[in-house]
Chains A and B, each alone.
Chain A
Amino acid sequence: MLLAHSLLWHYLWVAPNLLLPVLAVLLWRFGTARRFPAFFAFAVLSSVGQLAVYAADVLPSVSATTFWRVDWGDLLLEGVLKIALVGEIFALLFGSYTSLARMGKTLIRGVGIVLVFAAALAAAYAPRNGFFGVVSGAFLLQQTTYLIECGILVFIFLFSAYFHLAWPRQVFGVALGLSVSACVHLATWAMIENGGLLHSTRVILDFVNMATYHLCVLIWFYYLLVPHKVVAKSAVPLPENNLDVWNRELERLVRP
């Protein structure tokens, strides 16, 4: 069942990359694409890239070297798209709060620099495996991209959690899907690149990656298309004693 080029393998590679452009079309029709231009671009272009890699894998006329060139091209494109997407999440979450936007930008730059150093260090200490340079380089690029992406997304979640910010539902959905994908892919690519695994184990990890990505596409469908339930708000009872004390304190502060 869990074999490369099995029916499940074909489904898990192709289905999310067909679903994502469908989501992009629906977002365009509902006008949501204007709010999420980077996600829209990601949904369209990353699917095209992944389907190109899939075609390069299954077509017998495509040589191994050409396959890895296509894969490299797709990885670089996805890297750029993900940076834009993370920037969009940050802007949508913190952009409207002037008090946080500047501090957040400074901190995220600092975190980005630290993560680039950490990724470079992890790449430098990666063990020499038996792969050709182009293959090993692609694995390392995956590990590097997901390490930086995962770190920045965790920072955004931490930053918003500290300030107790409520995420807009759709922004949260985009960030959740991207984060789950980044965490799982980071773990699997770290094992593939550094673990010295057997081919059969690497195929299983491929399945884990593809299944996770499929799940993430479904998360995006849910959060971006399904309207949320409106919770009826009830008035909060106000404590009488505190009110009087604070009224006096505030009067003194407002009119010293």
Chain B
Amino acid sequence: MTIAIILVVAAALALIFILRVTLSRSLQISAGTGFAQIEPIDVEAFRNLVDPAEDDYLRRRLPAAEFRAVRRKRLRAMAAYIQAANRNAKVLVSVGQAALTEGDAPTAEAARRLVDNALSLRRNAAIALVRIHIALAWPNSGLAATPILHTYEELSGSAMLLGRLQNPAAPVRISAAL
């Protein structure tokens, strides 16, 4: 009987989740998404945070306990940046997917590249956040968040291209939003 209860509860939860996705999907179609939801991120500050040379410098200059405290603060800041980049990538996936259906071939190709880059960023962001949370427990461990930055730069380029193709009259404005 216990197995029956476990499986029935699991099946009910699965069904509720799938029906919720169905409902949110129909709401998404009617609501739409756009560039306006993108949050600004200071990429230079993030680049500084993930620089291993900075960590090495702090490790040499500070006592061990103080270094760990500073490192944890830096890791929390890094996580906040990555979460913001992740949210932006989520918006860009929606924007890119909406543009995918446009008839114009260069726009569709740019949209496909944008979506692919945004998905790479979301994948890398998930991995990096896991690493950051592990590093918060062991602040002396190494952490590689550089691939995130690289993907974010690629993503910005793709979004700029899509913006130009969608609105050639105002390329700078649309590019700047990203």
Contacts and interface: CB of A to CB of B under 8 A. Distances in A.
A238 B35 contact: yes
A242 B44 CA distance: 16
A96 to B, nearest CB: 7
Contacts of B156: 250, 253-254
B3 A187 contact: no
A191 B175 contact: no
A222 to B, nearest CB: 12
Interface size class of A (residues with CB under 8 A): 35 or more
Given A164-B94, A165-B97, A186-B11, A180 B176 contact: no
A237 B4 CA distance: 53
A239 to B, nearest CB: 6
Contact of B177 (A96, A183, A242): A242
Interface in B25-52: 25, 28-30, 32-36, 38, 40, 42-44
A98 B98 contact: no
B84 interface: no
A154 B11 CA distance: 10
B14 A246 contact: no
Given A167-B25, A236-B35, A250-B178, A100 B30 contact: no
A243 B7 contact: no
A183 B94 contact: no
B134 interface: no
B153 to A, nearest CB: 5
B64 interface: no
A132 interface: no
Interface of A: 96-100, 103, 122, 125-127, 143, 147, 150-151, 153-154, 157-158, 161-167, 172, 176, 179-180, 183-184, 186-187, 190-191, 193-196, 231, 233-234, 236-239, 242-247, 249-250, 252-254
Pairs A-B, 6 closest by C-beta atoms: A236-B34, A247-B176, A190-B7, A194-B4, A187-B11, A243-B176
